[in-house]
Amino acid sequence: MNRVNKFVAALVLMPVLALNNMLSAQTNQSMENKVNTIFNQLTLEQKIGQMTQIASTNGDEVPQYVIDAIKEGRVGSILNAGTPKAIEKIQKIVAKESPNKIPLIIGRDVIHGYKTIFPIPLGQAASWNRKLVETGANIAGKEAYDEGINWTFAPMIDISRDPRWGRIAESLGEDPYLTAELGTAMVVGFQGNELSSEKGRIAACAKHFIGYGATENGKDYNAVSIPDYQLWNTYLPPFKAALDAGVGTFMTAFNDINGIPASANQFLLKEVLREKWNFDGFVVSDWESMSQMINQGYSENLRDVALQSASAQLDMEMVSSAYQKHLKELVESGEIDIEIVNTAVKNILRVKVALGLFEQEYNGVPKDTEILSATHKAEAKKMAIESLVLLKNENILPLKIKNQKIGIVGPLADAPAEQVGTWSLDAVIDEVVTPFNAFQEAFGDQIVFAQGLENARSNKTDQIQATVDAMKGVKDVIVFAGEDAILSGEGHSRAFINLPGAQEALIDALAEADKNIILVVQAGRPLTLGTIEDKVNAILYAWHPGTMGGPAILDVITGKVTPSGKLPVTFPRTLGQVPIYYSSIESGRPANPQMLGIPTGTPLDPVGLTNNYLDVSVTPAYAFGYGLSYTSFSISKPKLSNTELVKGEKISVTVEVKNTGKYEGAEVVQLYIHDKVASYMRPKLELKGFEKVYLAPGESKKVTFEIGDDQLSFFDKNGNVLLEKGKFEIFVGNASDNLASEIITLKDIK
């Protein structure tokens, strides 16, 4: 046999997996060769250029400072590079006039859609639908790619348990498992199964590493303290999951963690991310998060900043210029080992090579782009529908609309720019379909519209009476209230989380006029609705639902589709309960959840000496995982394949879920565990699995979850995995406060 035939024979005989491994090793090797070839041409200044990201400006023009930086090889990435025209110009300057012709990686915040806007991430998380979340990211990425963008700063997988924090809107909620599952879906949606040069694929960025959501008192950019064992068990897992899904880049957080800024945190960036997790993509700082270490009192000057961040192996600096100004001298003085710079540059080049940037030539918007296509809008509508959570329904929904007049009221009924929510930089507002648009199109003259308030923040009550008057002869009124887009997002935290402005007064007035009120809340966070809840007949939580929010809300209110969203975050009754989350740790004096507060004047007695409040129940307004439907479901008691297992074995837990009502619908079956005794106190409940099941009336399906080492183990304070024998309670149900359980025992672990 000649050599070629021998090779072919070997290929034929080789098991597929081994063949795949061999091919991917070859691809990796050839990629690495390419990285090295490019790398070898670079001077120290040019290497530092690759480690620098600068912000451009929106519009068709490329500012002179950007052109100069490119021509002088002082930049590796641009964010907010402008229109496709500007990006085309930029890439042409790179190709013709830059010293090494290394393409720039063009970054932008494509967070929940590019031009077709999907619901805010917190809303998407309420769908509990991995596939839809993946599709949403995929469409966002494709639209952005068509306009010359190669890299998004998403997903944000910060665990968020404080609804005051404005960026909770951009998060996937309070739970590490749900965040990991949906964050991973986003990574795959943007990148595919790995970084690739395929058309429409862009690099994702796991942000913000780490702890940004644990910001003290809910204010943005505040200090963060996280005990080590919580870091490992609550905050790190979604990032590890993103890494396992192949995420190309990480972004550091603005905050410190226990006194050390994330952007200079050697423990997190070196020990965890590089040494323990073997991450080989690149890490970017957040916007000036490096230079801000001076304000934080960690660095004396920019030179310090460069030294501290480079020592932590932070690869690329966003916007500030510590590396540009000082990295060279730090290398020359020996304070920074050149190998740190070399590794950073290779990490960056590796991503550029994997994305195929060296082969791409960007020529403005391609003609066949699907931006804002009917397909993209249909997907955005599907996602919006599944993100809607029905919190309350007193036999009014679905609303039967025959010939009667329907009131459409409220500052968010016809507010397209508010409906897209935070981080909608590229939203095309004219394309947004509001609830008012959708209802009017469906019911024409039957719709009686009155905005009631100028916007959701307005305290002016002068239109309220006129609104009530306009509703004369109208019984069913749909009130669109909540938060304007600007009330959540980065730097937009609130100290009160009730309905802002005079919205409560508007609802009060309609309630006094004896209307049937369906309250639709669009907001970037859980709101405390207080006494409003008793005055309305139904509450549909819509978050900020995006471009197709109007038609989605129409379909759900009229019963064309049954709501199926479930809360990804606990809703407090009142701000004083914050932080409130389902997976807290049990007290030595557990609360009595039936106790709704202790009447004033009651002497302190044993009833009071529990983990309760004096003035409010300990239970939330709405629990994590909660959400109503128009139909009803039964979930059978969990059936276990065994009640005992040892390390390495698995037990399966099966339930039968049945649609026992009249409508087609979907139920989210949720699996939780509680480790009853452990060397670290474990949460009362931890989500470990979920499946969304779509059922016709009368239909039933079996849902099976597997429980083994992964579900039963946890981390100690040093990040070691602990799998401890003993009893575990396994819960299955349709909300964290509506569960049935069984006990299993993990035996004899050696």
Provide the binding-site residues for ligand BGC, judged by CB under 6 A.
79, 109, 153, 207, 286-287, 490
Which is closer to ligand BGC, CB of 121 or CB of 411? 121
**Annotated catalytic residue, options 158, 256, 286, 426:** 286
User: Least distance to ligand BGC from the beta carbon of 321, Å?
Assistant: 16
Under a CB-based contact definition with an 8 Å cutoff, are residues 542 and 521 in contact? yes
Q: Rounded CA gap, 162 and 160, in Å?
A: 6
Which is closer to ligand BGC, CB of 207 or CB of 688? 207
Indicate the SS3 state at residue 421.
coil
Which is closer to ligand BGC, CB of 251 or CB of 336? 251
Q: Rounded CA gap, 157 and 186, in Å?
A: 10
User: Least distance to ligand BGC from the beta carbon of 291, Å?
Assistant: 13
Helices (H), 400-452: 416-419, 435-443
For 140-185, give the secondary structure using H, E and C: HHHHHHHCCCCEECCCECCCCCCCCCHHHHHCCCCCHHHHHHHHHH
Which is closer to ligand BGC, CB of 206 or CB of 732? 206
Indicate the SS3 state at residue 519.
strand
Q: Is the dihedral of CA 217, 221, 227, 230 positive or negative?
A: positive
Element (H, E) at 131: helix 130-146
Which is closer to ligand BGC, CB of 253 or CB of 330? 253
Question: Which residue's C-beta sits nearest to ligand BGC?
Answer: 153
Which is closer to ligand BGC, CB of 153 or CB of 232? 153
286 noted as active-site residue: yes
Under a CB-based contact definition with an 8 Å cutoff, are residues 228 and 717 in contact? yes
Q: Rounded CA gap, 138 and 191, in Å?
A: 8
User: Least distance to ligand BGC from the beta carbon of 247, Å?
Assistant: 14
Pairing assessment for the beta strands 700-707 and 665-675 based on DSSP bridges? unpaired
User: Least distance to ligand BGC from the beta carbon of 75, Å?
Assistant: 16
Q: Rounded CA gap, 167 and 402, in Å?
A: 41
For 69, residues 6+ apart whose C-beta sits below 8 A from its C-beta are 49, 52, 54, 75
Q: Rounded CA gap, 110 and 54, in Å?
A: 17
C-alpha torsion angle, residues 225, 226, 228, 231 (rounded to 10):
-140
Q: Rounded CA gap, 303 and 305, in Å?
A: 5
User: Least distance to ligand BGC from the beta carbon of 253, Å?
Assistant: 8
Query: Side chain identity at 508, as an amino acid letter?
Result: D
Which is closer to ligand BGC, CB of 253 or CB of 384? 253
Which is closer to ligand BGC, CB of 264 or CB of 540? 264
In angstroms, the Cα distances linking 564 to 70, 77, 122, 677, 707 are 50, 41, 15, 35, 26
User: Least distance to ligand BGC from the beta carbon of 121, Å?
Assistant: 12
Which is closer to ligand BGC, CB of 160 or CB of 629? 160
Place of tokens 């917190």: 122
Q: How many CA atoms lie within 13 A of 263 on its CB side?
A: 29
Helices (H), 312-415: 322-332, 338-354, 374-387
User: Least distance to ligand BGC from the beta carbon of 425, Å?
Assistant: 9
User: Least distance to ligand BGC from the beta carbon of 167, Å?
Assistant: 8
Find the helix packing angle between 130-146 and 374-387, rounded to 10°.
140
**Catalytic residue positions?**
286
